[in-house]
Each structure stands twice: as structure tokens, then as C-alpha cells.
Amino acid sequence: MKRWTLSLLAFLSLVTVPTLAADYAIDEHHVFATFKVEHLGIGYVVGRFNKITGNVNLDKGQIDITLHADTVDSGHPKRDQHLKSPDFFNAKQFPKITFKSNKVTKTGKDRYRVEATITLLGKNKPVTLELKKTGEGKDPWGGYRIGLESTFTVKRGDFGMTFMADGIGNEVEMYFSGEAIRK
């Protein structure tokens, strides 16, 4: 009986104890990537990408996120068409904006420093950001999830996005919040 109990406890610990060393897939229904950029020195344009895919493994230092450029959404269809044009995201020629980690360092409880490469308009640029794990746990459907969040800034001019440089700010504030499901 003692042997059976120990075996059961060992099995249950494998089933119920989470591990970040596991691979997680971005939950496309619970993820947001938004941007905010100054407009005419007066206000801001805010938008988001409606399709985001990717994978995360924090212990292995792997974060791969893809924003699908043709899903850019600023709440104004005519502006969205312009954002998809060669003046901005050039979504036909460059359908994906990618974020790929190069190094992930744990800096505190549920906090990480991420050195990564962003690829936009065919150009690769480094970015360093702080990432927070906002939570983790079982979901009602039998899966296991982690939540992640970060805010960081990129310069659109670094990627060659210079249309209307005198009216649209160069610095773009990015906000990412999402959940990933253990595979």
C-alpha cells in the first residue's frame, strides 16, 4: 500500500506542479498587442493587431511572437488601409512583424529582462524590455496557462517607416498582454 501511495503522489506531482520549462503557445483569443504614436504634436493614434501567434518557454529563454500586419486596427477603416500600405506596414510585402528573444534573464519574482530582435519591414533591430509574468494556473478547460505583460518603445524610423515624419512621432509605445497555454 505504501508503494502504491508513493507512486500516486509522484504521478500527481508531475500532473499538478507547473513548470515554466514547458512550451506554451500564445492563446490567440486572449492576447493583445497595441501601439500608441503621437499625431501632429497634438494627440495620439492608438491601434492594435488583431491576429497574434507565437510560442514561449521562459526557462529556455525562448519567446517568438508574430503580429500579422494585415490585421492592424486603429478603429478607422480608411486609416487602417493606409497603415497596411507601403507608407507604413507594407502588409502585402511584409505580412509578419516578428519578435524573437535572444536572451531572457530572470530579474526577480515573475520578472524577466528580455533581449530580442524585432523584424519589421525586412529590417532587424534589437530591443530590450522588461517582461512580467502576471499569473499562472489551471484553466476551466483542463489546460495550464501563464500570463505575460510588457510595455516598451521602438522607433519607427529605425525600420525605415518615415512617412510623414514631421506629423507622426518617431517613438511608438508598444503594449503586450497575453496568455499562453502549455502544450
Task: Examine residue 80 and state whether it is found in any structural domain, yes or no.
Answer: yes
Task: Examine residue 166 and state whether it is found in any structural domain, yes or no.
Answer: yes
Helix (H) or strand (E) holding 22: none
End-to-end CA distance of the chain: 34
Hey, is 59 helix, strand or coil? Answer: coil
Task: Examine residue 121 and state whether it is found in any structural domain, yes or no.
Answer: yes
Do residues 35 and 46 touch, judged by C-beta distance below 8 A? yes
According to DSSP, the residues that pair with 155 across neighbouring strands are 171
Task: Examine residue 89 and state whether it is found in any structural domain, yes or no.
Answer: yes
Task: Examine residue 147 and state whether it is found in any structural domain, yes or no.
Answer: yes
Task: Examine residue 82 and state whether it is found in any structural domain, yes or no.
Answer: yes
Question: Total structural domains in the chain?
Answer: 1
* Domain with 88 in it: 18-182
Determine phi and psi for 109, rounding to 5 degrees.
Answer: -60, 115
pLDDT per position in the chain (183 positions), as tens?
A: 555 444 444 444 444 444 457 999 999 999 999 999 999 999 999 999 999 999 999 999 999 999 999 999 999 999 999 999 999 999 999 999 999 999 999 999 999 999 999 999 999 999 999 999 999 999 999 999 999 999 999 999 999 999 999 999 999 999 999 999 999
Task: Examine residue 3 and state whether it is found in any structural domain, yes or no.
Answer: no
Q: How far apart are CA 68 and CA 91, in angstroms?
A: 8
Task: Examine residue 12 and state whether it is found in any structural domain, yes or no.
Answer: no
CATH code for the domain of 58: 2.40.128.110
Residue with cell 502588409: 91
